[in-house]
Structure 1
Amino acid sequence: MNTSTPFHRSLLFAGLCMLPLLAQAQQSAKDQARAEEIVQGKCFICHGVDGESSSPVFPRLAGQHGAYMARQLADYRSGKRKSSTMQPMVEDLSAEDFAALGRYFESRTPLKHAVEDSDLAQVGRFIFMRGNPYTGVAACASCHGEKGHGTPQLPRIAGQHAQYTENQLKAFNKRERTNDNAVMHAIASKLSELELKAVSAYLSGLN
């Protein structure tokens, strides 16, 4: 092939430019396949194949931020976040596996869930959006966003099982969970039982 003409040189340049994209696509497919292997071998038992866990004691993972999830998995493996269930599940996984799992569950579409107690959820909406100025409880929306979608650093809490959210808030309050920022302990320690349950109920119905 004569590569001396401008046309042939442009074809050669275009082909060279495509190589990184092809390599990236191949790596993405490899990561996806690895994540699916782990999910079908471990995660689906508690969290479901698409991150929609059927039990309220296990978190819904669909739509969760991949970077946040990868960090939590690393904390489970190191023991920074305690769980007799999760630590054995992740002890043989790598940082690359954690990142692949994070991307996998982030790509799953969260489902809309009905609130069990709409009156309680309305109380929770007030606390979530405005906090409690009388007791110093900060508005949850100030960090997690008005829709509860969070950021790569802060979890998506919209649509989470009410029971799971309640359990985590109590764990923060008791300092049983310390791997995330200390702000959560300060907030959880000020929530009354009613406020805690109300916020959890409200979040369960967000999407």
Structure 2
Amino acid sequence: MRERFVWYVASSLALASIALTPARAADVAAGKEKAEMCIACHGENGISQTENIPSLAGQPDQFIQWQLVFFRAGTRKNELMQPIVEQLNNDDIRNLGAYFSSLTPPKGPKDDDPDLSEKGKQAAAGRRCASCHTDSYAGTKAVARIAGQREEYLVKALHDYKSSVRSGGGMAAMADVAYPLSDEEITALAHYLAHL
């Protein structure tokens, strides 16, 4: 309980630091320039070609900003991201959010297993994924776009939520959704979403 309280306070302070900074319009061009450091992992134009690295193109602006704040605050952990986000100021975060949200999202590959996708579609309906991620799974505000995301990354993310390894953002909601999923359901759900 204490760990959750500390996480909440740290996240709240990190988000407050952005909220209390005088608002300026985000600069997409500056975001594109800053995103040069992201290409090696997240791919050209924000479309990842690297296993277990998410595509960022088309992610909602607020979602990108929140995740960067969570990484910077240390509430979301990743050994590769930590040294990068420590260098970002609030304007950088705003600009990166604006830039990545302006990019065309990845289109899912041709579905090579429609039966698995159907099982995934049923799992998505049963877990009410659309209630947060929208009917098209394009995400909104601080909720991730999951349509067309890398399949193995979705599997990893769901397993991380299920085991409480991943924190930040909708952790409680995602843990509630992921915990009862079987490995087969996770595989099917990831396949379905990745091929949208």
AA at the equivalent of 2:117: A
Residue 144 of structure 1 pairs with residue 156 of structure 2: no
AA at the equivalent of 1:54: Q
Structure 2: distance between partners of 1:154 and 1:69: 9
Cα RMSD after superposing both structures: 1.8
Matched residue, 2:79: 84
Contact 1:116–1:201 under 8 Å retained in 2? no
Report the Cα offset of residue 116 of structure 1: 4.0
Task: Mark the structure with the bigger radius of gyration.
Answer: 1
Structure 1: distance between partners of 2:106 and 2:32: 20
Structure 1: distance between partners of 2:82 and 2:179: 27
Question: 1:97-108, aligned counterparts within 5 Å?
Answer: 97-108=92-103
Matched residue, 2:160: 171
Matched residue, 1:197: 187
Residue 122 of structure 1 pairs with residue 118 of structure 2: yes
Q: SS at the partner of 1:81?
A: coil
Gaps of 5+ in 1: 1-26, 132-137
Residue 32 of structure 1 pairs with residue 22 of structure 2: no
Identity %: 38
Structure 2: distance between partners of 1:113 and 1:149: 12
Report the Cα offset of residue 48 of structure 1: 1.6
AA at the equivalent of 1:142: S
Report the Cα offset of residue 149 of structure 1: 1.2
Structure 2: distance between partners of 1:54 and 1:67: 24
Report the Cα offset of residue 202 of structure 1: 0.5
Contact 1:113–1:205 under 8 Å retained in 2? yes
Structure 1: distance between partners of 2:106 and 2:48: 11
Q: SS at the partner of 2:50?
A: coil
Q: SS at the partner of 2:45?
A: coil
Which of 144, 147, 151 in structure 2 is aligned with 1:162? 151
Structure 2: distance between partners of 1:117 and 1:89: 37
Of structures 1 and 2, the one with the larger relative CO (CA 8 A, separation 6+) is 2
Report the Cα offset of residue 172 of structure 1: 0.7
Report the Cα offset of residue 39 of structure 1: 1.4
Matched residue, 1:185: 175
Structure 1: distance between partners of 2:45 and 2:119: 31
Structure 2: distance between partners of 1:195 and 1:53: 24
Contact 1:65–1:152 under 8 Å retained in 2? yes
Contact 2:41–2:48 under 8 Å retained in 1? yes
AA at the equivalent of 2:175: H
Gaps of 5+ in 2: 1-24
Which of 64, 84, 106 in structure 1 is aligned with 2:59? 64
Q: Give the alignment's TM-score, normalised by structure 2.
A: 0.82
Contact 2:57–2:104 under 8 Å retained in 1? yes
Report the Cα offset of residue 180 of structure 1: 2.4
Aligned positions, number: 172
Q: After superposing the two structures, state which structure 1 stretch, 178-187 or 64-73, moved more.
A: 178-187
Structure 2: distance between partners of 1:184 and 1:86: 21
Structure 2: distance between partners of 1:58 and 1:200: 14
Contact 2:31–2:92 under 8 Å retained in 1? yes
Contact 2:63–2:142 under 8 Å retained in 1? yes
Report the Cα offset of residue 127 of structure 1: 1.2
